[in-house]
Amino acid sequence: MKINPGSRPVTDPDEDLAAANIREFTAAVAAHHGHPLTADRATDLDTGDGRFGYRLYGEGSNPVEILMPGAPLAVVRDDLTAQAYCLRVGDYWWWSSAVDMAAARLTATA
């Protein structure tokens, strides 16, 4: 069995932090993908573990579902330790890998 410590529930999640994080994430994926993107809040994806659901849209692409931790950006984006909270893009990923995965999923459906 695979255990990813970054998949644990977020302590004291904050939806406003998740919203700020998704803006940064969308910009990072857009830079990687090479096209403008938008992200919409998707409460139907919320899991109750402190990650908030979003759908990422690119022109001509199917939406990519993201679960963004409601934690400070530095913990989500910059921390590569077992204490970091991972994003969910199909599976749990640290920030840079989640950017790659989201961009790949957008490209695959374009």
Q: What is the pLDDT of residues 72-91, one digit of tens each?
A: 999 999 988 888 899 999 99
At residue 3 the predicted structure's pLDDT band, cuts being 50, 70 and 90, is low
* pTM score: 0.91
Count of structural domains within the chain: 1
Question: For residue 62, what are the domain limits?
Answer: 5-109
**Angstrom distances, CA of residue 77 to CA of 1, 59, 84, 89, 108:** 26, 26, 8, 14, 24
Q: What is the pLDDT of residues 41-63, one digit of tens each?
A: 999 999 999 999 999 999 888 99
Q: What are phi and psi of 92, to 5 degrees?
A: -85, 130
Residue holding tokens 């921390």?
A: 79
At residue 21 the predicted structure's pLDDT band, cuts being 50, 70 and 90, is very high
Residue holding tokens 């999923």?
A: 105
